Structure 1
Amino acid sequence: MIDGLMTDPYGTYARLRESTPVRRVSGPDGSPAWLVTRYDDVRAALADERLSVHKKHALPGSYRGFSLPPALDANMLNMDPPDHTRIRRLVVKAFTGRRVEKLRAPVRHTADRLLDAVESDGRADLVAAYAEPLPIITICDLLGVPATHRRDFTDWTDALIAPDPARPQRAKEAVVAMLGFYTGLVADKRKAPGDDLLSDLIAARDEGDRLGEDELTSLAFLLHFAGYENAVQLIGNSVLALLTHPDQLAALRADPARLAGAVEEFMRYDTSAVFSIRRFAREDVTIGGVTVSAGETVFLGLGSAGRDPARFPDPDRLDITRDAGGHLALGHGIHRCVGAPLARLELTVAVGALLERFPRLALGVPEQELRWRPSMRSRGLLALPVVF
């Protein structure tokens, strides 16, 4: 896309905001797009109805994003109102503050169990041992996915997040496997409903409500995929931020009541979602003084917006006392992350449990040896070695 985005993303964003805040780029798939980097422009564009998420508004041949079968593609990330509105109305009931709060104790139990498993070793890879299994267990329990499929799902998701150039078929194989899995899961839940979100959504559809078959299958895929991917990377990025800022780590240990505010600062400082879901201009749209023609693709820089000094003073400094409200890590407008309450809960519990358990937590390798996922769409660590 742009030189430096993988090796020095925030330095690159800073240069773009200053020189060309709305710039022509090549997307991750090689197709042409516009990249928007300033906070005000990104926020306004996220809520602009002239920018659609539906691929039918793309210029023919201009967008070559990864192709999913209809049964996985018919989800909220590819829908505009009114379809988006009716589906979101069903799903958002599952993520109310009250319902998500009921998950706090189970999530904490999972966190404690995972930390129990590594405590005696004195060291661990926090991505593999903690950041990955915590959200996958949580979202599987929420959707009613059997524990026997958790490892498979992790492998499928990794294949889509960071495709292996040496194994080009792996991503396609993962899609086929996921389609079969979700189709079978929906069929199983219809025959034997459980006390879970997917059973609730199936019941709504089967009673003549608003979910079609492809919508139901793709919704399960979306909730599962997003509920895993973003949480894994947010946990890893947040712990790394604390370990590389010992003054902020000490301040949080001294006053654990600051954790809720710190979570917002973690998301602002190093969000997992580099860009929002791509948009397509329904008509000619002016963004930051630049005209985006109808049908062109737009990427909105969520990571860059969080480091914009026009919105967040001294943005490259981690400050858990900062009022980070208004960050765009979870989006804005009608497509704002429907699972935002759950994401906040998981991150709060994960960091809180870790700091309580290990008062001498530290990086296990020099920071410069850490490796990041080779992905342009999301930012997360491949591994986070720590010692206790």
Structure 2
Amino acid sequence: MGEMETLYSSQFKTGAYPFYEDKRRTQPVFPMSEDNGYTSWLVTKYDDVKELLKSSSFIKDQSRLYATKDKPSPDQGLNIFENMMLDADPPDHTRLRKLVQPYFNPKTIKLLEPRIHEITDELLAEMESKTAPVDLIDDFAFPLPIIVISEMLGVPVEDREKFRKWSNTIVAASDNMAGDFVEDVEAFTLYLTDLFEKRRAHPREDLISYLLQTEDEGDQLSKNELYSMVVLLIIAGHETTVNLIGNTMYALFEHPDQLKRLKEDLSLVPQTLEEGLRFYSPVDFSTARWAAEDMDLHGETIRKGDFILASISSANRDEAKFIHADHFDITRQKNAHVAFGFGIHFCLGAPLARMEGKAAVEKLLHTFPDIHLDSERELPEWRPVFLLRGLQSLPVQLSYR
């Protein structure tokens, strides 16, 4: 199996960190594969990843590298991925981000705090009513952020399991573009079309109603951009937070001394979350970038059009940047991780994710101070999804028998 196929396999997650350590030491800009004269590169060191994330020499919109005749025609029909902000460069990225930025700035997010605490308390009460072991992902880490982003957007919370299924299919698309992918994307598109019609007829004080108004006003938001924006907000609005909560709790269970210290001093929750973001980064890799020009990097010749992949997880374990990088330390002081990215594509929802994570971990440990992994179950497994690092499940006992 070639290196590229290895990276895309579900088995890669478990042994990823030794692999990254080896590449940082031996070949920090690593050629994964070649196709039609172009090379796909993996960048693993912190400084290089940070430069890649901010540099205009690496672009997100691959179509800018094509001749005009090769670019997709604008009348090919609706494509919910074609104009996604995550894959746009300035000025389109600047325009799209500016439209939704007011809904995600720290001041606006602060207004959501009481509701986030209320949802967290409701979920904990539901968990407390269960006698069997609970799955911390299904019963807590997933519903919290999906309820919050659903209420922000104005989509029915009762449809959250649909969003979960569609989201799982879409983020796993790098592993398998066949089967459920086309069917789920069509279902997602039809769902949004129906929802948009309802919101146009009966606008509300929500983000979708605002975006629809922006689309109707003219050239600020196209139809494709509208669909892509809502899909991105639904998926990105919960996926990374699910992983932040689940991964951080898993790391705490793996390091009982750190868990004990946190339970003795819950004021360490914000630092714990930052260490969780670094140690088990919710996003393993940056989204795709391409070289806009020929360049040299660590002695490797990168040509215009080459595919560049930055390993967020590797950067966050770089021993040249972090003292005892492979140690999980909730009191770590210098923690300039890049779990939320860097530069103009820095995660729009970072303030929201941090607020949700803080409420979740703080209240969870306050309500269930004896929470621990269910020893009768097998160890948790990572989801077989290339882009993200998250657990399939996290079975726990809420108290000792």
After TM superposition, the score normalised by the length of structure 2 is: 0.89
Give secondary structure in 1 for the equivalent of 2:309. strand
Structure 1 residue 349: Cα displacement: 1.1
Q: Select 1:92's aligned residue among 92, 98, 101.
A: 101
Q: Which residue of 1 aligns with 2:164?
A: 154
Q: Which residue of 2 aligns with 1:187?
A: 197
CA gap of 1:96–1:166, structure 2 versus 1, over 3 A, is closer
Q: Which residue of 2 aligns with 1:382?
A: 392
8 Å Cα contact 1:57-1:280 kept in structure 2: no
Structure 1 residue 175: Cα displacement: 0.8
The question of 1:245 aligning with 2:252 is answered: no
Q: Which residue of 2 aligns with 1:357?
A: 367
Structure 1 residue 58: Cα displacement: 5.4
Unaligned runs of 5+ in 1: 61-67
CA gap of 1:155–1:251, structure 2 versus 1, over 3 A, is same
Q: Which residue of 2 aligns with 1:65?
A: none
The question of 1:23 aligning with 2:30 is answered: yes
Structure 1 residue 368: Cα displacement: 6.4
Q: Which residue of 2 aligns with 1:47?
A: 54
Structure 1 residue 69: Cα displacement: 5.3
Rounded to whole Å, the distance in 2 between the matches of 1:72 and 1:181 is: 16
Unaligned runs of 5+ in 2: 68-76
Structure 1 residue 71: Cα displacement: 3.3
Give secondary structure in 1 for the equivalent of 2:290. strand
Q: Select 1:254's aligned residue among 256, 264, 269.
A: 264
Rounded to whole Å, the distance in 2 between the matches of 1:168 and 1:366 is: 36
Structure 1 residue 262: Cα displacement: 1.6
Farther off after superposition, 251-260 or 266-275: 251-260
Q: Which residue of 2 aligns with 1:115?
A: 124
Q: Deviations over 1:256-313 (max 9, x none)?
A: 1121122111101111101111101111133333221100100001010000011111
The question of 1:104 aligning with 2:113 is answered: yes
Match of 1:91, as an amino acid?
V
After TM superposition, the score normalised by the length of structure 1 is: 0.92
Rounded to whole Å, the distance in 1 between the matches of 2:44 and 2:65 is: 21
Q: Deviations over 1:313-352 (max 9, x none)?
A: 1011111111254211000011111111111111111111
Farther off after superposition, 102-111 or 184-193: 184-193
CA gap of 1:69–1:21, structure 2 versus 1, over 3 A, is farther
8 Å Cα contact 1:131-1:236 kept in structure 2: yes
Match of 1:382, as an amino acid?
Q
Q: Which residue of 2 aligns with 1:144?
A: 154
Match of 1:238, as an amino acid?
T
Match of 2:293, as an amino acid?
E
Q: Which residue of 2 aligns with 1:12?
A: 19
8 Å Cα contact 1:268-1:324 kept in structure 2: no
Structure 1 residue 366: Cα displacement: 7.2
Structure 1 residue 171: Cα displacement: 1.4
Structure 1 residue 5: Cα displacement: 3.0
Match of 1:371, as an amino acid?
E
8 Å Cα contact 1:35-1:299 kept in structure 2: yes
Q: Select 1:337's aligned residue among 347, 359, 381.
A: 347
Give secondary structure in 2 for the equivalent of 1:277. coil
Q: Select 1:229's aligned residue among 239, 244, 252.
A: 239
CA gap of 1:166–1:46, structure 2 versus 1, over 3 A, is closer
Rounded to whole Å, the distance in 1 between the matches of 2:43 and 2:174 is: 28
Q: Deviations over 1:18-60 (max 9, x none)?
A: 1111111149xxx951000000000011111010000214579
Structure 1 residue 166: Cα displacement: 9.7
Rounded to whole Å, the distance in 2 between the matches of 1:162 and 1:368 is: 24
CA gap of 1:317–1:98, structure 2 versus 1, over 3 A, is same
Give secondary structure in 2 for the equivalent of 1:369. coil
Q: Deviations over 1:74-93 (max 9, x none)?
A: 11112110011011111111
Rounded to whole Å, the distance in 2 between the matches of 1:122 and 1:224 is: 31
8 Å Cα contact 2:14-2:382 kept in structure 1: no
Structure 1 residue 228: Cα displacement: 1.7
Identical columns (%): 38
Rounded to whole Å, the distance in 1 between the matches of 2:286 and 2:176 is: 28
8 Å Cα contact 1:59-1:295 kept in structure 2: no
Farther off after superposition, 334-343 or 162-171: 162-171
The number of residue pairs the alignment matches comes to: 378
Rounded to whole Å, the distance in 1 between the matches of 2:182 and 2:62 is: 20
Structure 1 residue 122: Cα displacement: 5.5
Structure 1 residue 201: Cα displacement: 2.2
Rounded to whole Å, the distance in 1 between the matches of 2:371 and 2:174 is: 32
8 Å Cα contact 2:377-2:395 kept in structure 1: no
Rounded to whole Å, the distance in 1 between the matches of 2:380 and 2:201 is: 47
Structure 1 residue 102: Cα displacement: 1.3
Rounded to whole Å, the distance in 2 between the matches of 1:156 and 1:208 is: 30
Q: Deviations over 1:341-366 (max 9, x none)?
A: 11111111111111111010101137
Q: Select 1:75's aligned residue among 59, 84, 93.
A: 84
Rounded to whole Å, the distance in 2 between the matches of 1:384 and 1:73 is: 35
- In angstroms, what is the RMSD of aligned CA positions? 2.3
Q: Which residue of 1 aligns with 2:187?
A: 177
